[in-house]
Structure 1
Amino acid sequence: MDSLVDITEFILKGSLITGELFFITALFSVPLGCIVAVGKISKIKPLKALLSLYTWAFRGTPLLLQLFFTYFGLPVIGIRLSPLAAASIAFIINYAAYLAEIFRAGIESVNKGQYEASKVLGMSHCQAMTKIIIPQAARNVIPPICNESINLIKDSALVATIGVGDLLRAAKEVVTRDFTITPFIIAAVIYLAITSVLVIVFKKLEKKYSID
């Protein structure tokens, strides 16, 4: 049996994939979610209908199913992706759908008087959104985004199902090899450490941008 240090180092190597998937998903799903949110509150009915269908479909079906479709289903039509690429696409599209609803709610929570004030100041709709509405909405959505970030870390364990060597898969390999539950305990501690850091970061952001 390997020493505790060796087991921990092996599992931490798997956490690099978890971190990579987290940052890739965050990097692309946040702007995509913003775009979808703005589109859903636009006055263009066909666009609103299309985006509503998108958020309904991806929020209403399991992420695991979407992951399987991306990795196992797309090759049927000739699109073959590496496990990490397939996971990244599935996670980005899924989380963008959830974030779009969060951002939409945040935008709609801004007092209507802010829109009217921007018109009085002669701002265009685009200027009002970027300079007044979205900055205020961003402050309102910090708590739910924190929750989604924690969910993202936990959901990253799903990539083990398509052979990606993430944190949980690394722990499972050691459990299978050495027949000990210690790796699962180590993995749990690492997950808790990562999510705790996220909570601290978002609490600081929430405090920084809170209205006294």
Structure 2
Amino acid sequence: MSINVIMREMTAGFGQTCLIFFMTLVLSLPLGLVMYFGRVSKIKLVSGIVKFYISVMRGTPLMLQLLVWYYAPYYLWGMNIGGYKLTAILLGCSLNYAAYFAEIYRSGIEAIPRGQYEAAAILGYSGQQTFFRIILPQMIKNVLPTVTNEVITLVKDTSLVYSLSYVEMFAVAKQIAAAQTTIVPFFIAGAFYYIFNYIVAKVMEMFEKKMNYYR
């Protein structure tokens, strides 16, 4: 198999990797904020459930979670999971990363001085206005470096979906390497991941620079 053919097949697989990456981000970033509100809720039952959920998500491997999300509907309810694979992947990845983002948001918000809330109250801001106009922008700036690390990790974690036999870039590289008895596809996959992560890091760096006016 020529390099051109390998590149063409792996580029197609890379498209699936990008799909999983972007869909996971779109779902997990706002869901993490919802989890944060549950985590700090004054209702002890709600906060206790969310704390336990976050503990489970952070304390067990993502690959195991993906397998559970995929096979659980079949074993529990006898559901036909033939076309359920991508849904299971997005559920597993999004809910896992949302748990991490919730804790990242919490650390960023708790780092903001209480005086910010007091000043907002004096100015007549409601709790909702205070959060979205004053606290949230500062929190985003505080957590951007940590979020960047998680986003870069997500790029690499997309390779874990091969455990569900989903055809993305790493699975394609593995198939070609096994069929052609060559290590070249793995080097090409490594180059794809590196370039993707380099672009992600640069984009996040641009966001950090734009948030510098909060200094």
TM score, norm. by length of structure 2: 0.94
Please give the secondary structure, in 1, of the residue aligned with 2:124. Answer: coil
Matches within 5 A, 1:72-111: 72-78=71-77, 79-81=79-81, 82-111=84-113
Change (3 A) 1:142 1:80: farther
Alignment of 1:116-135 (within 5 A): 116-135=118-137
Match of 2:37 in 1: 38
Paired AA for residue 206 in structure 2: K
How many percent of aligned residue pairs carry the same amino acid? 36
Structure-to-structure mapping, 1:1-212, within 5 angstroms: 2-78=1-77, 79-81=79-81, 82-210=84-212, 211-212=214-215
Judge which range, 38-47 or 166-175, deviates more.
38-47
d(CA) in 2 for partners of 1:49, 1:168: 38
Structure 1 residues 37-62: Cα deviation after superposition (integer angstroms, max 9, x where no partner) = 12222322222111111111111111
Return the alpha-carbon distance in structure 1 between the equivalents of residues 137 and 96 of structure 2.
24
How far apart, in 1, do the equivalents of 2:164 and 2:148 lie?
Answer: 27
Q: What whole-Å deviation, never above 9, does each CA across 1:87-123 have from its counterpart, x for those lacking one?
A: 1100011000000000111111111111111111112
Query: Is contact 1:15–1:166 with CA below 8 Å preserved after alignment?
Result: yes
8 Å Cα contact 1:13/1:167 also seen in 2: yes
AA aligned to 1:50 is: I
Checking the alignment, whether the CA contact within 8 Å between 1:71 and 1:80 is kept in structure 2 is no
Q: How many residues align?
A: 211
Q: CA 1:76/1:142 → structure 2, altered by over 3 Å: closer, same or farther?
A: same
Q: In 1, Cα distance between the equivalents of 2:62 and 2:73?
A: 16
C-alpha distance in structure 1 between counterparts of 2:110 and 2:187, whole Å: 43
1:80 CA drift (Å): 4.4
- d(CA) in 1 for partners of 2:134 and 2:204? 22
Stretches of structure 2 lacking an aligned partner (at least 5 in a row): none
Take 2:71 and 2:131, find their aligned partners in 1: how far apart are those partners? 40
Task: Identify unmatched segments of 5+ residues in structure 1.
Answer: none
Q: Distance in 1 between matches of 2:115 and 2:108?
A: 15
